[in-house]
Every structure is written in structure tokens, then in C-alpha cells.
């Protein structure tokens, strides 16, 4: 009796499926933490490779959009990252490189490749942040005077939950909203409202200048009592 063939996958296909999954879900979830709410990335990757049923409603459309946003050359770049361990690489990185160089991998190796794709994404984001920080330090300037009411068109670069405060019987979440004006000025708004723009939105913001600071060589204007509308 002939033993059934072992299912294998091309490393490039695994990497691309992992990148698509992280684009759709917005996170990387290790296979070892299946008790948590998030879907383990490896399960989503295997589902994509096998053409399985959608895990959540709307997945087919979202993954189709992610496939269009992540061409093969991007996946190839991520795969090259996985095959090239850095100087002084630990055993985990060396194992990833060995697996990524194979012409085909088995199911048990998919989680390792997915983790490598996640590290590539993290490295890309870190490099982008460093590049943007250098640009901010070069172009940002303080705007307005303390107490002045200003209006600027700006892109929202981050919305960070800072915790909660209780006022009597009411609990209010606090957020730090970071923005970058069309001229490159960096602004920060400590917001006590849930009616906030999302990261990536472009808004027209009106607020009162609270103070000016310089953080890591970047001039930052803090504003308060802000109102915003979508720009345009």
C-alpha cells in the first residue's frame, strides 16, 4: 500500500499568505495562543493556501483586496529577508533561514515562516518610523502662540489610548492624537472624547495652543479644546 503524499507548500506562497493575513487582521497571532480571541495567523495562512472556507464574514472580499495590495515582488522581498539571518543570529533566526531556503515546506514549518513574515513587517515599520522621525526633525516647527486658537489641515498619524478617568459616575477614555500638518508641523492633542478621527484620516483641526515642546529634535505643538472635520 502506498503512503499518502505529504502536503507541501512553496515558501513564497506561505510568506504572501502571511502578509495578506496580517493586512486583513491587523495583527500577528502566534499559533501557541489559540485560547485568545484573535485567530492564529498560521490557521488563516493554511486556510488561504488550501482554499478553505472563510473564518469570518467578509473574509473573501478582504483577502482579495489584500492580495491586490501585496504583489509577488513584495512577498519575494520578505522571503529574502527570512533567508538572510543577521550577524549574530540566534537559533530561531537560523532555523527560519534554513526553512525559507527550501523549495517546499510542510505544514509544521508554516508557523515559522509566518513568524518570519511578521518580523519583516516589524522591521519595515521600524525603518519607516525612523525615516519619518528624521523628516519630522528636519521640517517640523512650532505653530501659533500659547493660548492662540489655530486651524490647520493635518493627517492623523496615531491615535493612542492613554487610559481612563472617572468624573463622578462617568468614566471617560483619554487619547493622544498625533497629527502632521500639510507643512510638516507635528501636533499632539490630548483628547477626552470618543469622537475621534482614525489614523490615516486627513482633517481640518481647530484647537487652542497649550504649549510647545521639542522631543527627539522634533518641534511639537500641543493643542487642546479641539474640534475637527474631515478635510476637503
- What's the domain count of the chain? 2
Domain termination site, one of 136, 165, 191: 136
Place of cell 522571503: 79
Place of cell 490615516: 200
Q: What is the CATH number of the domain that holds 147?
A: 2.40.50.140
Q: Domain range for residue 54?
A: 8-136
Judge if 59 and 104 occupy the same domain. Answer: yes
Q: What is the pLDDT of residue 82?
A: 97
Domain termination site, one of 136, 154, 179: 136
C-alpha cell recorded at residue 100: 525559507
Per-residue pLDDT of the chain (232 residues; tens, 9 = 90+): 554 567 999 999 999 999 999 999 999 999 888 788 889 999 999 999 998 887 888 888 998 899 888 989 999 999 999 999 999 999 999 999 999 999 999 999 999 999 999 999 999 999 999 999 999 999 999 999 999 999 999 999 999 988 776 666 777 678 999 999 988 999 999 998 878 999 999 999 999 999 999 988 999 999 999 999 998 7
Q: Are 225 and 179 in contact (CB under 8 A)?
A: no
Instruction: Return the sign of the alpha-carbon dihedral for residues 115, 120, 121, 122.
Output: positive
User: Which helix (H) or strand (E) element contains residue 164?
Assistant: strand 149-167
- Residue 54 in domain: yes
- Residue 104 in domain: yes
Judge if 121 and 85 occupy the same domain. Answer: yes
pTM: 0.76
Q: What is the pLDDT of residue 168?
A: 64
Q: Are 10 and 109 in contact (CB under 8 A)?
A: no
Q: What is the pLDDT of residue 219?
A: 96
Judge if 157 and 194 occupy the same domain. Answer: yes
Q: How far apart are CA 188 and CA 87, in angstroms?
A: 38
Judge if 111 and 22 occupy the same domain. Answer: yes
Q: What is the pLDDT of residue 117?
A: 97
Q: Which of 187, 119, 122 is nearest to 150 (CA)?
A: 187
Residues 6+ away with beta carbon under 8 Å from 232? 202
Q: What is the pLDDT of residue 56?
A: 81
Amino acid at each position: 500500500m502506498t503512503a499518502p503524499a505529504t502536503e507541501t507548500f512553496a515558501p513564497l506562497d506561505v510568506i504572501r499568505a502571511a502578509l495578506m493575513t496580517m493586512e486583513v487582521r491587523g495583527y500577528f497571532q502566534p499559533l501557541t495562543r489559540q485560547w485568545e480571541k484573535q485567530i492564529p495567523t498560521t490557521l488563516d495562512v493554511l486556510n488561504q493556501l488550501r482554499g478553505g472556507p472563510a473564518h469570518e464574514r467578509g473574509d473573501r472580499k478582504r483577502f482579495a483586496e489584500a492580495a491586490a495590495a501585496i504583489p509577488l515582488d513584495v512577498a519575494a522581498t520578505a522571503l529574502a529577508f527570512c533567508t538572510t539571518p543577521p550577524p549574530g543570529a540566534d537559533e530561531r533566526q537560523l532555523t527560519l533561514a534554513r526553512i525559507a531556503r527550501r523549495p517546499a515546506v510542510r505544514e509544521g514549518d508554516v508557523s515559522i515562516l509566518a513568524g518570519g513574515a511578521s518580523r519583516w513587517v516589524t522591521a519595515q515599520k521600524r525603518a519607516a518610523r525612523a525615516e519619518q522621525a528624521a523628516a519630522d526633525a528636519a521640517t517640523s516647527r512650532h505653530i501659533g502662540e500659547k493660548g492662540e486658537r489655530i486651524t490647520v489641515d493635518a493627517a492623523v498619524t496615531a491615535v493612542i489610548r492613554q487610559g481612563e478617568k472617572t468624573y463622578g459616575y462617568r468614566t471617560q477614555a483619554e487619547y493622544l492624537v498625533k497629527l502632521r500638518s500639510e507643512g510638516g508641523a507635528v501636533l499632539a492633542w490630548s483628547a477626552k472624547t470618543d469622537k475621534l478621527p482614525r489614523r490615516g484620516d486627513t482633517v481640518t483641526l481647530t484647537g487652542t495652543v497649550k504649549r510647545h515642546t521639542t522631543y527627539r529634535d522634533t518641534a511639537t505643538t500641543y493643542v487642546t479644546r479641539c474640534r475637527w472635520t474631515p478635510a476637503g
